[in-house]
Amino acid sequence: MPPRMDDVMRLCCDISAHEQMKVAVKNSTKGAVVAGGTAFLGGLLGGPPGIAVGGAVGGLLGSWLTSGQFKPLPQILMELPPAQQQKLYTNIVAILGNLDWTDVAQLVALVMGNATLQQQVTAALLSYVAKELRAEVRFGD
């Protein structure tokens, strides 16, 4: 990986670790389908009260299916294939503009020291995760 790309990927990892971002890539859709499906089935079997019961049961079941499936975003970013890393790199470099740095430590310090720049990079990272990885992001824990 070229040094500049490596620096930007490390920046993304540091920001996502700072924000304590976790991502569910595959199972969040499964949980939503289960919740919606049981609400639909409950509605067919029990009418309006069945929708409420089916939705509650489906929500619990969907939550159970996705629990423990969230991985730290830095781990997911470092496991991305080169083509996806390149796409993320291009998005972030567009935000960084003419910012000049010598190493990853300086890049992280420059971005973390500028609240506006940090917010823009975080927003681009969240947008990338939502659009490209089709993933759900959770903060904290």
pLDDT in tens, 39-90: 778 778 888 887 878 777 777 776 666 555 678 889 889 888 999 999 999 9
Residue 136 region by backbone torsions, left for phi larger than 0, else alpha for psi between -120 and 50, else beta: beta
Least confident interval from 7-16, 33-42, 99-108, 110-119: 33-42
Domains of the chain, by residue range, sit at 1-23+71-134, 27-68
How many angstroms separate the most distant Cα atoms in the chain? 65
pTM as predicted: 0.66
Report how far residue 121's alpha carbon sits from residue 111's, in angstroms, rounded to the nearest whole number: 8
27 or 127: whose pLDDT is higher? 127
- The residues pairing with 137 across neighbouring beta strands, listed in sequence order, are 23
